[in-house]
Amino acid sequence: MSLTFQGYRRPNGEVGIRNHLLIIPTVICSNQVCNRIQQLVPNTVAIPHQHGCSQIGADKDRTFDVLAGTGKNPNVGGVVIVSLGCEVVDPTQLAEEIRKTGKLVEVFDIQSVGGSVKAIQHGVQLAQEMRTKLDAMTKEAIPFSELKIGVKCGGSDATSGLASNPALGVAADALIAEGGTIVIGETTEIIGAEHVLADRCRTTETADDLYHIVNRFEKEVERMGADMRGGNPSPGNIAGGLSTIEEKSLGCISKCGTAPIEGVIEYAESIPQGGLYFMDSPGNDIECVSGMAAGGAHLVCFTTGRGTPTGSAVIPVIKITGNRICAERMADNMDVDVSGMLEGSVSLQEAGNHIWDEIRAVSDGQLTKAEVLGHAEFSINRIGPSL
């Protein structure tokens, strides 16, 4: 019998491991109204952001796709969209896109309702009613084959490549063995290691796609006339012993395990079911995790050596470290400590099993440290100028 966890079955057949009520501002101008609604209605989460207007073309589309994808994420049970009323991101179109999932969606704009006070009042009423409906939903047993996990590293040091990333790779292989899905991103952080991943692509077309996105990124760095070093690896990476982007990349890639790469997908694009996928994304922690969440990942496993508190608005983020000092100093933020690997007390397989056990518990409802502390980071990757 296959392994199961308790999750929410959505109207479109997808599965959620959380039951969030998400409050989406279509534009920066709606942020404060959304923040106030979140404060007044318990168990809601707002995703304030800087965008939604003065944007064109692919950049505008990307903002829309991330907002829509976050609303469509199966961990979200219902959505309240707050528009200003004159912005570039179309609130009606956004609501229609999210309604395709069959979930509860409400939308209104501040200009029509008549200012902030009335908008907050209206939003609170909608959110309260929706929260009551969400709380009446029940969970059922779901096989792990339906789970989609993002793997990410951030605040890396030398222990990431030696311990936490290989251990996460073992857990990634365990999920894929159950028929589940893994997505890895951070195009920046495979520079110098892309040949290793390309050799693992299922088809030559996928390998070509992988080389293409790496070349595209490296050309952008060349256009800026800068050495990546100092930006990535960051000053903290360098202090931790990582000398070049190549060294960082070669330590990064083990976190996705050993399965073949089935395909390369765009930032925030819907993640296909089953096997390992590569999402073209920046290495920036919040932008990458937000892109994975918008693609439909249920949770992210996040390795770190320096330590970071990062969470996400709609998905649990499990923090894993192979650095003993980080595990002790940032115990508030670390969920899994695999530093015993570097002291000879824990094997690679044992560390991987430890992470897999944590994935199972979190999928079943156990809160991560980031969730307990209220970390609900969200940000949208930009690919164009503000007008």
> Of the two residues 13 and 260, which places its CB atom closer to other proteins in the complex?
260
- Least distance (Å) between residue 165 CB and other proteins: 10
Alpha-carbon gap, residue 312 to 334, rounded angstroms: 15
Q: How far is CA 222 from CA 58, 216, 225, 232, 279, in A?
A: 22, 10, 5, 14, 22
> Of the two residues 91 and 307, which places its CB atom closer to other proteins in the complex?
307
Phi, psi of 4 (to 5 degrees): -130, 165
- Least distance (Å) between residue 200 CB and other proteins: 12
Instruction: Figure out which of the listed residues 140, 246, 328, 332 binds other proteins, where binding follows CB under 8 A.
Output: 246
Residue 385 interacts with other proteins (CB under 8 A): yes or no: no
- Least distance (Å) between residue 57 CB and other proteins: 22
Alpha-carbon gap, residue 92 to 108, rounded angstroms: 9
Are 294 and 69 a contacting pair, CB within 8 Å?
yes
Alpha-carbon gap, residue 264 to 206, rounded angstroms: 6
Instruction: Figure out which of the listed residues 28, 40, 250, 376 binds other proteins, where binding follows CB under 8 A.
Output: 250
> Of the two residues 187 and 290, which places its CB atom closer to other proteins in the complex?
187
Task: Region of 278 please: left (phi>0), alpha (psi -120 to 50) or beta.
Answer: beta
Alpha-carbon gap, residue 151 to 252, rounded angstroms: 10
> Of the two residues 157 and 337, which places its CB atom closer to other proteins in the complex?
157
Are 342 and 351 a contacting pair, CB within 8 Å?
no
Residue 245 interacts with other proteins (CB under 8 A): yes or no: yes
Which residues, numbered 185-244, are part of the site for other proteins (CB under 8 A)?
A: 191-193, 196, 218, 221-229, 232, 238, 240-241, 243-244
**146 Cβ partners below 8 Å, 6+ apart?**
7, 15, 180, 273
- Least distance (Å) between residue 288 CB and other proteins: 17
Q: Give contact residues for other proteins (rule: CB under 8 A).
A: 157-159, 161-162, 166, 191-193, 196, 218, 221-229, 232, 238, 240-241, 243-247, 250-251, 254, 305, 323, 341-345, 347-348
